[in-house]
């Protein structure tokens, strides 16, 4: 492999000649060989390209960066946003907790690519743009990385996670309407309870998802606040006046999303409560989806030795030894994703609590876990929706059988003959393995006609 010499404040470093990064990136690449498939998420790189572009425009408008340099930085940022340099960002999540090395990776790539665009040789000719002095002007890793975190998180939720949830919600609403006349037995404590319709049951699932979406949407406001302009500790040292306000406006214009400057940069650098809040909404949805998926798993269990009330789509063979077995694989995938999100929340919660003094230094692990959760939840919802939920149908024969045999239909007699006589009927039917009607009539508490009139599932929902 051919190398070139790059320099930073610690001295010379050999860098692969075909790469655009510089000395600080190479040091990080060699010093943090931690974990397989642990690359910094591209969403962060894309967010960095967005904020570097906005910073160059803002610095030019405020008179601290000349137009030629600003145009070159913008041009390279646009190339990065179009994914033309994906192989130039080799660093891993497990690096400095401020994300400094990723910030410098982006700075170096932009500076060296600008050198190429200006027909100058990297590492030999005088640089037309300097990574720290020009690309990083009016910035610090301490305010750019949290800004990138918010941009990446906001984009992921708005363009991936929330649309997937809304599609899932629409299907649940459709199913609740489709199943509104399917009367089934209810269950509490995993024991028979009074009837409800399958549509009512699914409407509860719809509301759980709706509540989660609302929580997620509310959290977007906190994510819209950007730390950029706080520089090293939140004071804005070395940034021109109004840089924070103007750069946020430019980011909003570039992304077409409602980003604003954070009202308090000290909070924006030292803590990550906006990420905690948004991920709590993702965890809320994971908890709700876990509950929903487990209900569907149980109602679809069988086909002959389980509840068997729902017919789930049969997508794949379920066993390598048991012929004809089909398993609820989409449910299993969804619940595993939910388990991962709940685990990610623990990591984010702990990492966000470690904001000593003016800087939280767990930023990469916080955003990596957040983006994984948001991506997985969206993907799993799409998969579950398309490959399971849309194809679910009630097994009406089994639904009627379980409803008819339930002892808890006796609850309808409470207001007619009282709780204690009703309980006596249920216990007699259970112990003697007879129907409720037979037990009620034999005890002399109701006539056959009264039982048929009063114990009608349609009147109990």
Residue numbers belonging to the annotated binding site for substrate: 98-100, 140-142, 188, 320, 325-327
* Under 8 Å between Cβ of 176 and 200: yes
Longest Cα separation, the chain:
105
The annotated binding site is made up of: 98-100, 140-142, 188, 320, 325-327
Q: What's the rounded Cα separation, in Å, for the pair 376 and 346?
A: 16
Set 85, 118, 176, 189: catalytic member: 189
Which residue shows structure tokens 């729902």? 310
For the purposes of burial, counting CB atoms within 10 Å of the CB of 424, is it exposed (0-12), middle (13-18) or buried (19 or more)?
A: middle
How many angstroms separate the Cα of 170 from the Cα of each of 182, 197, 199, 246, 296? 19, 19, 14, 39, 17
* Under 8 Å between Cβ of 412 and 456: yes
Q: What's the rounded Cα separation, in Å, for the pair 48 and 258?
A: 17
Query: What Rg, from alpha-carbon coordinates, does the chain have?
Result: 30
Q: Do you know the residue count of the chain?
A: 461
Q: Which residues pair with 4 in a beta bridge?
A: 15
Is 189 in the active site? Answer: yes
Is 46 in the active site? Answer: no
User: Which residues, other chains included, contact 253 with Cβ-Cβ below 8 Å and sequence gap of 6+?
Assistant: none
Q: Are strands 191-197 and 225-226 parallel, antiparallel or unpaired?
A: unpaired
Euclidean distance between the first and final Cα of the chain, in Å?
75
Burial 310-344 (b: 16+ CB within 10 A, else e): bbbbeeeeeeeeeeeebebbbbebbbebbebbeeb
Set 82, 118, 319, 404: catalytic member: 319
* Under 8 Å between Cβ of 179 and 394: yes
Residues assigned a catalytic role:
189, 319
């Amino acid at each position: 492999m051919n190398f070139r010499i790059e320099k930073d404040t610690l001295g010379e470093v050999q860098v692969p000649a075909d790469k655009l990064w510089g000395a600080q990136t190479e040091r990080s690449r060699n010093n943090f060989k931690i974990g397989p498939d642990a690359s910094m998420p591209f969403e962060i790189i894309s967010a960095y390209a967005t904020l570097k572009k906005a910073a160059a425009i803002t610095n030019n408008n405020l008179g601290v960066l000349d137009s030629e340099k600003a145009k070159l930085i913008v041009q390279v940022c646009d190339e990065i946003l179009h994914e033309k340099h994906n192989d130039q960002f080799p660093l891993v999540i497990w690096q400095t907790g401020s994300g400094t090395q990723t910030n410098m990776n982006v700075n170096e790539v932009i500076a060296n690519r600008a050198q190429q665009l200006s027909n100058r040789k990297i590492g030999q000719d005088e640089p037309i743009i300097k990574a720290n002095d020009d690309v990083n002007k009016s910035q610090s890793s301490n305010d750019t990385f949290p800004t990138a975190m918010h941009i990446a998180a906001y984009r992921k939720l708005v363009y991936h996670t929330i649309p997937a949830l809304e599609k899932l919600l629409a299907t649940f609403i459709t199913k609740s309407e489709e199943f509104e006349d399917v009367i089934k037995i209810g269950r509490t404590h995993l024991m028979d309870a009074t009837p409800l319709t399958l549509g009512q049951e699914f409407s509860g699932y719809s509301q759980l998802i709706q509540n989660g979406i609302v929580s997620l949407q509310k959290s977007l406001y906190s994510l819209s606040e950007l730390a950029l302009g706080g520089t090293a500790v939140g004071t804005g040292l070395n940034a021109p006046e109004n840089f924070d306000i103007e750069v946020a406006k430019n980011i909003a214009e570039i992304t077409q999303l409602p980003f604003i400057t954070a009202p308090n940069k000290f909070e924006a650098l030292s803590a990550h409560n906006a990420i905690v809040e948004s991920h709590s909404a993702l965890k809320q949805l994971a908890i709700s989806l876990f509950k929903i998926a487990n209900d569907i798993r149980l109602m679809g269990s069988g086909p002959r030795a389980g509840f068997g009330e729902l017919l789930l789509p049969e997508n794949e063979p379920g066993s390598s030894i048991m012929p004809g077995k089909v398993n609820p694989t989409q449910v299993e995938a969804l619940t595993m994703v939910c388990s991962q999100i709940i685990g990610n929340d623990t990591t984010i919660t702990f990492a966000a609590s470690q904001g000593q003094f003016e800087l939280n230094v767990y930023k990469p692990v916080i955003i990596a876990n957040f983006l994984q959760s948001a991506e997985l939840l969206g993907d799993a919802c799409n998969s579950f929706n398309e490959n399971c939920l849309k194809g679910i149908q009630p097994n009406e024969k089994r639904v009627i059988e379980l409803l008819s045999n339930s002892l808890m239909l006796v609850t309808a007699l409470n207001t007619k003959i009282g709780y204690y006589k009703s309980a006596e009927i249920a216990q007699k039917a259970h112990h003697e393995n007879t129907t409720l009607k037979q037990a009620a009539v034999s005890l002399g508490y109701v006539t056959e006609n009264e039982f048929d009139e009063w114990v009608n599932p349609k009147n109990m929902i």
